Copies of this chain bind each other. A is one copy, B any other.
């Protein structure tokens, strides 16, 4: 017990072979005799030999690790993306190290450094919403470390080894509003978060453009800036109800705020969707479980994670065949129509 872990040197001694031969045998190098390979492998299992990746990584200059930096690992979205990331990375033999910025720029910066220290071969990032300074990402580029942003991206940045994967927030929002208009809504309000974040800005723009396309009013006061939380939604809805002219639909940029709005409407005896229709964004699990269930937009989170990893690994392995592709992928969102916005029965649905 408590015997030190077996190393290649140990195997070499016990078999009267050189370390290099052991190394080659273990990696199934072609010019090692089958007999030797067998002996080596047998002893390796017997001693429960485990290769030391740190040493191998140091020697080869390839850690086989990817870094992930997210605002937090809670909620629905990030865990799903991380699930996709981990799954896809493992498929290519990469391990994944995870850090959280807690939506804080300082922690983000610090964690980027930690990832670089850990010698990851590439980094996947979704921005903290407080980040305004992007020097830490330029540092990553200076070190020629491939970098892929997902969902919450830095928009100015560009380079051979920087990329981004997002879903088409604009399109998703546009579809939501188009759907609401088709349901007969004419005065559609919008809950949004801070517009310096690409996701909110794009959803907001999609909302505005769709309104215009359908000849609906796009009054400024229909856009409500609120916390993208349950409480934010209730607050936003109260504000809307306090005004002289009520909306007949609310499209919230985040699902949970739509729930807040729904709770206010229920208490006020306002029917959803008949009096006010409701829609959210992200397809959180609970949108299917509320009563009425909430129309939302699915972001295909897992695919986003997988796609981001694929892009990153393309950069890591630096495939010279492929021409320097735009390194920018926009995934299609999917509108999920549920009860909260369905005023007219779908054709043939009933």
What residues make up the interface of A, taking CB atoms closer than 8 Å to B? 1-2, 5, 48, 50-55, 57-58, 63, 65, 72-75, 78-80, 82-83, 86-87, 90, 95-100, 113-114, 116-119, 139, 142-144, 259, 266, 284-286, 289-291
Q: A95-B118, A96-B98, A98-B98 are in contact. List 7 more A-B contacts (CB 8 A).
A: A5-B143, A48-B143, A65-B118, A73-B83, A74-B79, A259-B289, A284-B285
**Are A86 and B73 touching (Cβ within 8 A)?**
yes
Q: What residues of B have a CB within 8 angstroms of the CB of A82 in the complex?
A: 73, 79, 98
Q: What residues of B have a CB within 8 angstroms of the CB of A285 in the complex?
A: 284-286
- Work out how many copies of this chain go into the complex: 2
Given contacts A53-B119, A58-B55, contact A80 B86 (CB under 8 A): no
Cα-based distance from A194 to B78 in the complex (angstroms): 29
Q: Out of B51, B116, B142, which one reaches A117, CB within 8 Å?
A: B51
9 intermolecular pairs with C-beta atoms under 8 Å apart: A50-B113, A52-B58, A54-B54, A65-B97, A78-B79, A86-B99, A95-B97, A96-B98, A289-B289
- Name the 3 nearest CB pairs between A and B, nearest first: A286-B286, A79-B79, A291-B291
Q: What residues of B have a CB within 8 angstroms of the CB of A48 in the complex?
A: 139, 142-143
User: Which residue of the partner chain B has the closest CB to A115?
Assistant: B95
**Are B50 and A54 touching (Cβ within 8 A)?**
no
Q: What residues of B have a CB within 8 angstroms of the CB of A95 in the complex?
A: 97, 99, 114, 118
Q: What residues of B have a CB within 8 angstroms of the CB of A50 in the complex?
A: 113, 116-117, 143
**Are B63 and A73 touching (Cβ within 8 A)?**
no
**Are A74 and B63 touching (Cβ within 8 A)?**
no
**Are A86 and B100 touching (Cβ within 8 A)?**
yes
Q: What residues of B have a CB within 8 angstroms of the CB of A72 in the complex?
A: 83
Most buried by B among A52, A80, A114, A285: A285
Q: Smallest Cβ distance from A153 to chain B, in angstroms? A: 22
Q: What residues of B have a CB within 8 angstroms of the CB of A75 in the complex?
A: 79
Q: Smallest Cβ distance from A288 to chain B, in angstroms? A: 8
Q: Smallest Cβ distance from A33 to chain B, in angstroms? A: 26
Q: What residues of B have a CB within 8 angstroms of the CB of A2 in the complex?
A: 144
Q: Smallest Cβ distance from A46 to chain B, in angstroms? A: 13
Q: What residues of B have a CB within 8 angstroms of the CB of A286 in the complex?
A: 285-286, 289-290
Q: Smallest Cβ distance from A74 to chain B, in angstroms? A: 5
Q: What residues of B have a CB within 8 angstroms of the CB of A289 in the complex?
A: 259, 286, 289-290
Q: What residues of B have a CB within 8 angstroms of the CB of A99 in the complex?
A: 86, 90, 95
**Are B83 and A53 touching (Cβ within 8 A)?**
no
